[in-house]
Structure 1
Amino acid sequence: MRLSRYFLPVLKETPAEAQIVSHRLMLRAGMIRQASAGIYSWLPLGYKVLRNIERIVHEEQIRAGHIPMLMPTVQSGELWQKSGRHNSYGPEMLRFHDRHGREMLYGPTNEEMITDIVASYVTSYKALPLTLYHIQWKFRDEVRPRFGVMRGREFLMKDGYNFDLSKEAALHAYNRHLVSYLRTYERMGLQAIPMRADSGPIGGDYTHEFLVLAETGESEVFYDSEITDLTLGNRDIDYDSVDQCQAVMDEFTSRYARTDETHDTAEFDKIPAERQRSARGIEVGQIFYFGTEYSEKLGAYVQSDSGERVPLHMGSHGIGVSRLLGAIIEASHDDKGIIWPEGVTPFHCGIVNLKQGDAEADAACESLYDALSGHGLEPLYDDRDERAGGKFATMDLIGLPWRITVGPRGLKNGVVELTSRRTGESEELSPEAAVARVAEIYAAHKPVNSGV
């Protein structure tokens, strides 16, 4: 993409309403525009990152054996009355009547709807285990929406639901989700710590939430510092293996990590003092096992192998897709702007032409653009007739991980400058070597062949 042809309405000044880093930088980088309180239009740059995050979530869900689908945003209030949550969920749920007087709602979550779907079609244990998920817009009518996409009223969420014949099988699904979420966050350049949590209005006895450490986090967290050394890395996980998934879960959850809601001072004090940590955290996902509560109320029963009619064991698993974008910025920025991890960046590499209109510099930039594109990468070429300082400031603000700078002086020596946004380090390379280096870096971030 050539910047002269792109829609990137960057701002030089920080809007007064932005209270946290991610909100300020998303507005300044021309990623979002507020439509009303807690509701945003996603402008091209923000939309590209949002879709990259969504793609990674899809890929890791499908890798774990989960099946994508799509449910509507508007739901019937009747289902929620059957589950008993229609009145208990609270004023965050937007309720309304259609023109026929039927009670409807804008879905904040989908336990009722997915259970009704499965109850209509799944009648035998032979169809199990089954995990269905979708990525869909949700609405929760926050009293004071703030912090941009971190706490909006409308948000994009992945919510998945497992259906199993027994508690043991459902807990394997729980562990499988925990592992798949860890891999999902790592691919986005995040370290998300699983913490024992409160189930809230979803219900259930087993629940962990995933928090990214950040100064602006809404929750206070207490944890054993050893947990921050853990990573899945390139481990080949067999999601069908009960033992493997349990082992990974035990590795990550055996160390103390709690939010302030579930913090146990006595347990925390058992950790050696030098490893005790407290910080702020941003919730980016949560998993639940809640047994047969919804299946019993909404008629999701199957015939077991012994011929008995039994309710399905269920769990739900959510990732805040749009919220993740804000969390990544909170965890990865500096005073110049955003620093995107390679896995989610809107463009793989920026090309800055220091002397637009110079025949040799223009030709070199065009050649770099074509060469990067030939490797399946998407560069952003700043071909504007603007001073170099302004071009560098824009590239730093929007946070592309790598930048190739082209100028007449370097070209006389046969080199361009390759710069890392994260470290600020630069090196002079031939144009061919710079392209090869960038292509090599992104080879490790190739999409999983998920079919999405």
Structure 2
Amino acid sequence: MHASKYHINTLKEAPAEAEVKSHQLMTRAGMIRKAAGGIYTYMPLGLRILRKIENIVREEMDKAGAIELLMPVVQPAELWVESGRWEQYGAELLRIKDRHQRDFVLQPTSEEVITDIARNEIHSWRQLPLNFYHIQTKFRDERRPRFGLMRGREFTMKDAYSFDRDEASAQSSYDAMYDAYMRIFTRLGLTFRAVAADTGSIGGSRSHEFQVIADTGEDLIVYNPDTQYAANIELAEAACLIPQRGAATDALNKTSTPDAPKCELVAQQLGKPLSDTVKSIVLATDNPDDPAQATIWLLLLRGDHDLNEVKTSKLEGFENGYRFATEAEILDSFGCVPGYLGPINTIKPVTIIADRTVANMSNFICGANTEGFHYTGVNWGRDLPEAKVADLRNVVAGDPANDGGQLAIQRGIEVGHVFFLGDKYSKALNATFLETDGKPALLQMGCYGIGISRIAAAAIEQCHDEKGIIWPKSIAPFELVICPMGWHKSETVRNTAETLYQELKAQGVEVMLDDRDVRPGIMFADWELIGVPLRITIGDRGLKDGIVEIQARRQEAADKVAVADALQHALNLLNSL
């Protein structure tokens, strides 16, 4: 490829709304152009990257036995009504009508369509197992699309769906996809972790996220540096930090704490560590038969800990959802405004759940249900009855790990997710097959997603410097660029560059020859911004000494190489990347 016949349009400045590096650099490098909020055109350089990601994904999915098809972007609403997600999915599901006023959706995912295919195409146990996948445009109507391809509305995704006879074989299909994902992200050249995760709105009972490690990631990953354990913070189990409850040595006192509605302020006023305080979080669960009669819950966490809302949603009694209690409900149950609430002497009975660590605290501080006052010297059993105990909090770095050692936390960007669904969708859509006994049985399903376009952004968040992008070789738009100095002025430079260009092409290298009439500084800046892994610089000055310069994008200085050795040296460097 010659640059003069290609479309290269870099920018010095990123748009003002570009908050993260991937958005800034992809825009400046001419890889994407905004069409509307969260909707982008993939320009030639950007499309090359996406296609390379797709090819790796496709090769590994085919190797794992998955079969490619292509499902529509526009899906009939009837299937979503049948699954129950027409109402459940929420505002991110873009609902549209055709000219006949029939309802459709722009697909955010394809569980309904693929299950409809399965119930019409799979009839016998002899056809199983099956795994279908496609790489297709998705649309989710994000309230606030941001971060470029990291959180857009329209994006490219690979989603696969497995169908099995029973749970055991479905788990084998899940394991095969997990292994395929490990190979995919290894081939992409990214530093990543596979972490246990919550199943979320997709549903199911087993789930792993594949997280690209990056300081700008929105997700927190909890891991044990000494073992293979890793989990999303939403799922990571938080151990009790107090092995044994201490004796009740302090007297219970109602202590004045004016203008201290937060645990931090209380601890500061009383000269106590924040870990001696207990915070109160009031939740409500609504009664569907009587909306006016909500159940009030009081959750207790240590003052320096945060509530994990995913864990909370899985508590007994919270199966149908929960919400934070209104101020009127709090006043009705506690007789006090938020900020001074506690479990002692509530006006009405409330169900109290204590985090594991709180359940072993002694002589602690909590709200007194009187504005401007807290209780000190609070002890279980003596001052208030023992509470229900549950894991309510987020893990923090340094917490003990269940498998030994201490837990650490790092940030990641979710780029892949695998779920075991069981019969969640096959039951809703009555997708059955005939078993060996001739009786119908529900198909057991798994689903497996990879954010193709998000991988491109995540790779940049992980691999960049002050000059621009540093692509892993496997997904770079070009593997190597030849930068001839004075292409239009020196026949020697042109001939040397063209010869090396043809030799590299013959070796299967994806090479760009920059024959544009631009200054060397501009040429170098463009390719450093674009992030091509290897650059060969050819100029009259070097050729007089019989050398060219070869520099990997991550190298600080170029290697001076004899012209005769340039091809092999470049190939060796590429193989090492």
Name the SS for the 1:281 alignment partner: strand
Match of 1:240 in 2: none
Counterpart pick for 1:418 among 523, 547, 550: 550
Q: Is the 8 A contact 1:182 1:192 kept in 2?
A: no
Counterpart pick for 2:565 among 419, 433, 442: 433
Match of 1:223 in 2: 223
Match of 2:286 in 1: none
- 1:225/1:96 Cα in 2 relative to 1: closer, same or farther (>3 Å)? same
Match of 2:484 in 1: 353
Instruction: After TM superposition, give the deviation of residue 274 of structure 1 in Å.
Output: 7.2
Q: Is it true that 1:321 corresponds to 2:294 in the alignment?
A: no
How far apart in 2 are the matches of 1:276 and 1:401? 35
Instruction: After TM superposition, give the deviation of residue 191 of structure 1 in Å.
Output: 2.3
How far apart in 2 are the matches of 1:128 and 1:377? 41
Which amino acid is the alignment partner of residue 118 of structure 2? V
How far apart in 2 are the matches of 1:374 and 1:363? 17
Instruction: After TM superposition, give the deviation of residue 277 of structure 1 in Å.
Output: 1.9
Counterpart pick for 1:262 among 232, 235, 253: 235
Name the SS for the 2:560 alignment partner: strand
Identify unmatched segments of 5+ residues in structure 2.
241-398
Q: Is the 8 A contact 2:216 2:412 kept in 1?
A: yes
How far apart in 1 are the matches of 2:233 and 2:424? 27
Match of 2:428 in 1: 297
Which amino acid is the alignment partner of residue 93 of structure 2? M
Q: Is it true that 1:365 corresponds to 2:497 in the alignment?
A: yes
Name the SS for the 1:136 alignment partner: strand
How far apart in 1 are the matches of 2:549 and 2:172? 50
Cα deviation 1:15-53 (Å, max 9, x = unaligned): 211100100000110000000000000001001001100
Q: Is the 8 A contact 2:224 2:401 kept in 1?
A: no
Q: Which stretch has the larger CA shift, 141-150 or 385-394? A: 385-394
Which amino acid is the alignment partner of residue 503 of structure 2? A
Name the SS for the 2:90 alignment partner: coil
Which amino acid is the alignment partner of residue 283 of structure 1? E
How far apart in 1 are the matches of 2:564 and 2:57? 34
- 1:220/1:352 Cα in 2 relative to 1: closer, same or farther (>3 Å)? same
Q: Is the 8 A contact 2:482 2:538 kept in 1?
A: yes
Match of 2:165 in 1: 165
Match of 2:96 in 1: 96
Q: Is the 8 A contact 2:534 2:574 kept in 1?
A: no
Instruction: After TM superposition, give the deviation of residue 425 of structure 1 in Å.
Output: 4.1
Instruction: After TM superposition, give the deviation of residue 292 of structure 1 in Å.
Output: 1.1
Cα deviation 1:45-66 (Å, max 9, x = unaligned): 0010011001111011001111
Match of 1:210 in 2: 210
- 1:65/1:442 Cα in 2 relative to 1: closer, same or farther (>3 Å)? farther
- 1:363/1:274 Cα in 2 relative to 1: closer, same or farther (>3 Å)? farther
Which amino acid is the alignment partner of residue 111 of structure 1? E
Cα deviation 1:320-340 (Å, max 9, x = unaligned): 000000000011111100011
How far apart in 1 are the matches of 2:561 and 2:29? 29
Match of 2:438 in 1: 307
Which amino acid is the alignment partner of residue 472 of structure 2? P
Which amino acid is the alignment partner of residue 315 of structure 1? G
Q: Is it true that 1:399 corresponds to 2:372 in the alignment?
A: no
Aligned residues: 418
Match of 2:37 in 1: 37
Q: Is the 8 A contact 2:92 2:141 kept in 1?
A: yes
Match of 1:112 in 2: 112
Instruction: After TM superposition, give the deviation of residue 279 of structure 1 in Å.
Output: 1.7
Name the SS for the 1:135 alignment partner: strand
- 1:271/1:4 Cα in 2 relative to 1: closer, same or farther (>3 Å)? farther
Which amino acid is the alignment partner of residue 324 of structure 1? I
How far apart in 2 are the matches of 1:366 and 1:99? 57
Match of 2:462 in 1: 331
Match of 2:201 in 1: 201
Name the SS for the 1:343 alignment partner: helix
How far apart in 2 are the matches of 1:65 and 1:431? 46
How far apart in 2 are the matches of 1:346 and 1:154? 22
Q: Is the 8 A contact 1:109 1:138 kept in 2?
A: yes
Match of 1:384 in 2: 516
- 1:71/1:256 Cα in 2 relative to 1: closer, same or farther (>3 Å)? same
Q: Is it true that 1:282 corresponds to 2:255 in the alignment?
A: no
Matches of residues 120-139 of structure 1 in structure 2 within 5 Å?
120-139=120-139
Higher helix proportion, which one? 1
Q: Is the 8 A contact 2:132 2:160 kept in 1?
A: yes
Which amino acid is the alignment partner of residue 326 of structure 1? A
Instruction: After TM superposition, give the deviation of residue 226 of structure 1 in Å.
Output: 4.3
Looking at CA atoms only, which structure, 1 or 2, has the larger radius of gyration?
2
Which amino acid is the alignment partner of residue 416 of structure 1? V
Instruction: After TM superposition, give the deviation of residue 414 of structure 1 in Å.
Output: 2.0
Q: Which stretch has the larger CA shift, 135-144 or 6-15? A: 6-15
How far apart in 2 are the matches of 1:171 and 1:191? 26
Q: Is it true that 1:62 corresponds to 2:35 in the alignment?
A: no
How far apart in 1 are the matches of 2:572 and 2:11? 33
How far apart in 1 are the matches of 2:564 and 2:80? 60
Name the SS for the 1:87 alignment partner: helix
TM-score, with structure 1 as normaliser: 0.89
Q: Which stretch has the larger CA shift, 370-379 or 342-351? A: 370-379
Match of 2:471 in 1: 340
Q: Is the 8 A contact 2:114 2:161 kept in 1?
A: yes
Q: Which stretch has the larger CA shift, 141-150 or 97-106? A: 97-106
What is the aligned-residue RMSD (CA, Å)?
Answer: 1.7
Identity within the alignment, %: 45
Which amino acid is the alignment partner of residue 152 of structure 1? G
TM-score, with structure 2 as normaliser: 0.70
How far apart in 2 are the matches of 1:195 and 1:272? 15
How far apart in 1 are the matches of 2:406 and 2:559? 39
Match of 1:231 in 2: none
Q: Is the 8 A contact 1:224 1:271 kept in 2?
A: no
How far apart in 2 are the matches of 1:411 and 1:385? 20
Name the SS for the 1:266 alignment partner: coil
Q: Which stretch has the larger CA shift, 292-301 or 144-153? A: 292-301
How far apart in 2 are the matches of 1:177 and 1:162? 9
Q: Is the 8 A contact 1:108 1:139 kept in 2?
A: yes
Cα deviation 1:49-86 (Å, max 9, x = unaligned): 01100111101100111111100100000001111111
- 1:98/1:269 Cα in 2 relative to 1: closer, same or farther (>3 Å)? same
How far apart in 1 are the matches of 2:539 and 2:128? 62
How far apart in 1 are the matches of 2:407 and 2:545? 54
Q: Is the 8 A contact 1:402 1:421 kept in 2?
A: yes
Q: Is the 8 A contact 2:552 2:573 kept in 1?
A: no
Q: Is it true that 1:17 corresponds to 2:12 in the alignment?
A: no
Identify unmatched segments of 5+ residues in structure 1.
228-254, 446-452
Which amino acid is the alignment partner of residue 235 of structure 2? T
Cα deviation 1:203-258 (Å, max 9, x = unaligned): 0010111111111101122112246xxxxxxxxxxxxxxxxxxxxxxxxxxx3212
Q: Is the 8 A contact 1:216 1:280 kept in 2?
A: yes
